Chain A
């Protein structure tokens, strides 16, 4: 079992605001980190796969950074829109090739 912490647990932002949240994980035996977006009543969908220290990935208004030495990843959303409302999950993968999900950050964007 891997101790994966995501913060905050939930947040509400106004439409147009930018926001970010954190995923913390043990830095030893790191292999890769996934970010998933999970809308209510749907299945989780992958956003990013990150492997290298210093990695930065971008998909439209969403981007993520990775620090494997200190064991954290940030997810940023620029100019939040109501359709960004979802739970964002991070999942580090260990050298054993199994991944462990954090409890997620639930984002609500208020129009």
Chain B
């Protein structure tokens, strides 16, 4: 089944403890992207990647890192999480210009 798989679905962590949210797609898509969703603010883009080893900042990249070493994986790294990074995160992928397929979301709480 064609899908985008995010893990974990839920995560509670403490301030400053490094974490990684994984994202993997099995559709051979070139484009992958991370978003965060906060009440009243819609989906804001964190980072995106047009292809392997090509990543760019989105609207709200501060405090996040990404890597795209292989086509299927696009992990989101929070080196030192802070409470203002408590949010719902979505990973998505597509072929260029075509519709996005979203993962199921990761609800992160930083205390």
Contacts and interface: CB of A to CB of B under 8 A. Distances in A.
B105 A43 contact: yes
B99 A49 contact: yes
Nearest to A48: B99
Interface in B77-103: 90, 96-100, 102-103
Given A43-B102, A44-B102, A97-B50, A32 B42 contact: no
Contact of B42 (A34, A43, A98, A101): A101
A93 B48 contact: no
A89 interface: yes
Contacts of B45: 98, 100-101
B19 interface: no
A9 to B, nearest CB: 8
Given A43-B102, A98-B48, A32 B97 contact: yes
Contact of B59 (A1, A91, A97, A102): A1
Contact of A43 (B41, B50, B59, B104): B104
Given A1-B59, A43-B90, A97-B50, A103 B41 contact: yes
B89 to A, nearest CB: 11
B35 interface: yes
A98 B42 CA distance: 17
Interface in B47-85: 48, 50, 56, 58-59
B11 interface: no
Given A43-B105, A49-B99, 4 more contacts: A34-B99, A44-B100, A89-B43, A103-B42
Kindly list the 10 A-B residue pairs having the minimum CB-CB distance in the complex, ordered from nearest.
A103-B42, A46-B99, A43-B102, A101-B43, A104-B42, A97-B96, A44-B102, A1-B59, A101-B42, A32-B97
